[in-house]
């Protein structure tokens, strides 16, 4: 029983330390920018919500939006691997007399 109380006290202390450290990360960013950053750093949603002064649901939505935006950005910027482009070698090139100008 005493062991369980000690473990709980350590967990609460660590939770407080995480919140204090998270509060120092990019305080000038908006919640939409800060929540995904803190999530990538491994901070849980409850701590992010406490630091940003919002609810866990808002944090969940902002992180989800950021993940979806990253996915769209990667696809738009050519994130899909394309195979090598085939070029016509000299044997496949059309003779100059067949090229339309």
The verdict on residue 97 lying in a domain is no
Q: What domain range includes position 6?
A: 2-78
User: Which letter does DSSP use for residue 89 in this model?
Assistant: -
The reply to whether the predicted model has a pTM over 0.75 is no
The verdict on residue 101 lying in a domain is no
The verdict on residue 88 lying in a domain is no
Question: How far is it, in rounded angstroms, from Cα 37 to Cα 65?
Answer: 12
The verdict on residue 51 lying in a domain is yes
Instruction: Give pLDDT tens digits for 19-60.
Output: 888 889 888 999 999 999 999 999 999 999 999 999 999 999
The verdict on residue 86 lying in a domain is no
The verdict on residue 55 lying in a domain is yes
Q: How many domains are contained in the chain?
A: 1
């Amino acid at each position: 029983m005493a062991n369980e109380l000690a473990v709980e006290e350590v967990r609460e202390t660590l939770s407080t330390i995480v919140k204090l450290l998270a509060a120092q990360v990019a305080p000038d960013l908006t919640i939409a920018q800060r929540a995904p950053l803190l999530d990538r750093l491994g901070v849980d949603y409850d701590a992010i919500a406490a630091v940003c002064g919002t609810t866990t649901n808002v944090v969940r939505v902002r992180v989800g939006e950021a993940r979806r935006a990253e996915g769209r950005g990667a696809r738009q910027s050519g994130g899909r691997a394309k195979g090598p482009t085939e070029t016509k070698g000299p044997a496949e090139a059309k003779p100059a007399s067949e090229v339309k100008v």
